[in-house]
Amino acid sequence: MNNQQQVGTVPKWAANWESRAKLIAAIGYIFGVISLTNLPYVMAAYVLSVIVFVVMKIPITLLLQRYLIITPFLLLMTVPLLWQQETGSVIFAMLILLKAFTSMTIITIVLESQSLDQLVNGLAGFRIPLKLITILVLSYRYVFMFLEDIDRMLTAAKSRFFRGGINVGKLRVYGQLTAGLLVRAIERSDNMYKAMASRGFDGQLQFSPPKRMTSKDIIKTVLAISIITIIIVIERSSFFS
């Protein structure tokens, strides 16, 4: 299911949420979660984000896939802490995991509850340099093409009875596959630029102005920020009591 199809299944109140207001709410919530220091309150913030995710009718499998992307990096940070087998280290590791998963949940909600056009128009509405937005859009598109090339290359290798592992011979194969992938990526980027230049591309995409922010958009944004603010206040109050 592509992004456009996914947006069609999202509730109307979420799909119509103006992009800039939604981004402000997401950024505020994420920074609020990062500021939390006690595990129960971070857990509460995470559970709330998952509830919103489910309410928006976004497939949970998509969220799990996003978790898998960041899990290797999280393990690199948390495994040494868990290895110490100290209560403080384990709690700190859990905080890192929960904060990362909460942030990824919020980011997925933002990405999957609106089209790419709505998102980039919202970014343009924040007066972000258009060239930077252009780079982000092209990178977003090129990542999926890059992953398709990797998948085809692995399929071709498996069809030739290649099996993964680590030894001198297989490392040589990995090097050849990586070199071939880089060459193909360079050729594709060159062909893509020529195709875009032939259609009048001047190094900067054109974006439509974002739609007007309504009182309903502001209410939804204030509500999201208020929720994480209440959690922060309760945590601080319990800390000083």
AA identity, residue 3: N
pLDDT, one tens digit per residue, over 3-24 is 555 565 788 888 889 999 999 9
Q: Count of CB atoms within 10 A of residue 25's CB?
A: 24
- C-alpha span between 29 and 148 (Å, rounded): 33
Strands (E) located in 38-140: none
Which DSSP category does 112 fall into? H
pLDDT, one tens digit per residue, over 65-85 is 889 888 888 888 887 777 776
Q: Where do the domains of the chain lie?
A: 3-114+211-240, 130-197
pLDDT, one tens digit per residue, over 29-48 is 999 999 999 999 999 999 99
